[in-house]
A and B are shown apart, each in its own frame.
Chain A
Amino acid sequence: MIRRALLLYLGLFALIVAVGFAMGAPFTVRLLVEAAAYALIALGLNIQWGFGGLFNFGIMGFMMIGGFAAVFMAMPVSAPFWDSDGPWMLGKALLAAGAGALVILGANRLHRIGFPKPLQRTLQVIAWIAAYIFFRTQIDPAIAVIESREIGWVGGLGLPVWLGWVLGGLLAAGVAWLIGKACLGLRSDYLAIATIGIAEIIFALLKNMDWLTRGTLTVSPVPWPVPLPQQYQAWGSTIDESFIYARAGYLLLVLAILGAVFFLIQRAYGSPWGRMMRAIRDNHIAADAMGKDVRARQLQLFVLGSALMGIGGSILISFAQIYDPSSYSTVNHTFIIWVMVIVGGAGNNLGALLGAFLIYIVWILSEPVSQWLFTTISGWTEAIGWGAIPDITSRSVQMRVFVLGLVIVLALRFAPRGLIPEIGAGRRPQDQPKQESPDEAVQ
């Protein structure tokens, strides 16, 4: 097993070197930075799916939250906003939301003081409606004020961007806690639908809350925690060199984070805590009977994994320097991570890491390769008189979605446990022949 992993990693290294020679160093370093950020997210999903068997299809949402956190923390302070009524009105809206939450929580506990169930249900509904209307009466005017021409949006806090990465992790963890509280009891496919829905809602919110994120107007430039290429140019490097140095600096930082996270979750995986998690994943009823708090442990995994997704999302945004909420899509930000973990080997951190780098390289390289392929075929069709293929460039971009889909179905069929399977787990429940028992549908 170790030899297999070693060989695969050697192959990956050779692939990266080959890409470096073919596409040039600045391109390759950029690729590696992004792949490392995706690897962080893939490790997050590996915690949720590989360790815990939790189905999270809302990765895009957590990445968007992370990106927003980087923007909010690091963009310069907007003086017009802070001089206006905006902060005060937003504060009132926040207080209204808090008051509403208290009312709802209170209504949820009415049965404790002897309210009959039907009455409590009615009061609960009324509490939700009242809280929603009250919140809207406060937030709507605040938004109108902030979105006026003179202010535009709330701006940032002007703090170092790495604080934004921390905030990204914390925000994603908080949202994951709320989602987990509500949804983790669901069977896996329902959980998938619920989380994909939540990701869609986060997408709609961040895209349309112009006062908070500038929405489709996009925010740029998001700062870097390390010197930018322009800085190196000012220090006397050539343009090519400056990109290599600056991106290499960024890469080192991301790799340091990735290394630390990998070390910690690898330790956690082997610890009693990790064994307990796998026990819960493989048979939660037995684990429950052994006295493990299944729901609480699953919530822990969900929050931990989502925090990594938030951090990865904010690293990607500050590297790209532009935050455009409408650029996120379920395929490019949720499904790709799933492909990484499934192909690499769910439940094995080394596998998830390998899968992340490999799939990201395949994803990025599909475009130039298929462009080359199309150009060649186009040459043939022209030679035999059928005319050239139109729009080669835009079509090549789409090729990668197809390639990724093909990779995952092939992996499921021929290597369902991934390139580097989980060690010592024997047969995972999802590989075992389905035992159609009457209580399957009830589980």
Chain B
Amino acid sequence: MSEFVFFINNVIVSGLVAGSIYALGAVGVTLIFGILRFAHFAHGDMMTLGAFITLVLSWVLAGMGVSSGLPLAYFVVPLAVAITIVAALGLDRLFYAPLRAKGAKPVTLLIASIGVTMMLQGLIRLLFGTGTYSLFDTVPKVIHRIPVEGSTRDITFTQPQAIGVIVTIIAVVALHLFLKRSRNGKAMRAVADNPDLAQVSGINIRKIVRLTWIIGAGLACLAGTFLALDVTVKPDLAFNILLPIFAAAIVGGVGQVYGAIVAGYLIGFAEVLAVFNWGVLLRPFRDSLPEWVPAQLAIVPTEYKVTVAFVILVVTLLLRPTGIFRGASST
């Protein structure tokens, strides 16, 4: 039984956490990809930016003398989301909108997003250095334990992990309702499907572009803060998970929000399953197994976790270039 609990802790909990973060990021990437038609490489740094804004706001709150049993970061997230959205709209106005107005091709916008990535990274490091910060300076991270009968181990997860997964689910449901029910949501899907047709039917493209940035940046801030609460706040926080996020957006089908969510969880779980040591589950039967079965039975060593998302991406591109949910084609 202990082994099974170990499996839950290392696969189910970790997979849910990683999957939620990937899904939140991938929704933004896929929307920008689908509506603005370029791969937004600065999305990872937008997530990092969101995490740092949360950090600064929680410092401000602490500076004002507010204290609570909960980490202050929880209370400032809505404001941080708002600031990240303003920042994203500002970046669009400064750097992407002029290029779009000139009719630049998507590749030019892609290269511009590289420039934005570098500026954001440089700016964050300029202001905060290269060190790591914690959102749990004043209060310890609460760890929930659920005892399991017949097991020496408990099912454990932290409070931010639980809240993060719940917030992700709420955000996804809200996004679903927005896209399905509201007029703007339907307009967004229409633009993603066929921009020309959408424009001639009288949809205001500029408004849709603004909405795309609002949703993308808001979710990016949530994802960044979630990641920062789960680990620490550092300048290369989310740049390192850019690949799984892009993989999720493509595997899910570019422009397909539901695809991005499903693929985000798919990649999150695939990563933890790939580096999970299956030997642990065999331990109870150790005595009856032949000698040659090794104790370490992970599919990929932990150091090579980065390969998992990539392999899924390549296999998808080869077998089903439009992604699981039939987005734009990749060839």
> Interface on A for B, CB 8 Å cutoff?
55, 182-183, 185-190, 192-194, 196-198, 200-201, 204-205, 207-208, 330-331, 335, 338-339, 342, 391, 394-395, 398-409, 412-413, 416, 429-434, 436, 438, 441-442
Contact = CB atoms under 8 A, between A and B. Distances in A.
B116 interface: yes
A316 to B, nearest CB: 20
B232 interface: no
A313 B309 CA distance: 27
B107 A409 contact: no
Contact of A402 (B33, B38, B107, B126): B126
A interface, over-half SS: helix
Contacts of A394: 129-130
A395 B125 CA distance: 7
B9 interface: no
A189 B329 contact: no
Contact of A432 (B103, B107, B130): B103
B314 A194 contact: yes
Contacts, number: 152
A434 B98 CA distance: 14
Contact of B307 (A201, A405, A409, A436): A201
Given A186-B317, A197-B314, 9 more contacts: A196-B242, A197-B313, A331-B121, A406-B119, A412-B111, A413-B95, A430-B105, A431-B104, A441-B328
B115 A405 contact: yes
Given A196-B243, A405-B115, A416-B108, A190 B330 contact: yes
A436 B306 contact: no
B122 A430 contact: no
A161 B102 CA distance: 49
Interface string B73-97: 0000000000000000000000100
B310 A436 contact: no
B112 interface: yes
Contact of B103 (A338, A407, A433): A433
B126 A190 contact: no
B110 interface: yes
A404 B107 contact: no
A197 to B, nearest CB: 4
Contacts of B33: 189
A413 B99 CA distance: 7
A79 B263 CA distance: 49
Interface of B: 33, 38-39, 41, 95, 98-99, 102-108, 110-112, 114-123, 125-126, 129-130, 195-196, 239, 242-243, 246-247, 250, 301, 303-304, 306-307, 309-310, 313-314, 317-318, 328-331
B119 to A, nearest CB: 4
Contacts of B196: 436, 438
A188 B112 CA distance: 15
Given A192-B39, A194-B314, A401 B121 contact: yes
Nearest to A402: B122
Given A197-B313, A200-B306, A413-B98, A430 B108 contact: yes
10 shortest interchain CB distances as A-B pairs: A402-B122, A405-B118, A405-B119, A433-B103, A401-B122, A398-B125, A408-B115, A409-B115, A208-B303, A197-B310
15 contacts: A186-B330, A189-B33, A192-B39, A193-B250, A196-B243, A201-B306, A207-B303, A394-B129, A398-B122, A398-B126, A403-B122, A404-B115, A409-B95, A430-B108, A434-B104
A429 B114 contact: no
Contacts of B107: 55, 188-189, 430
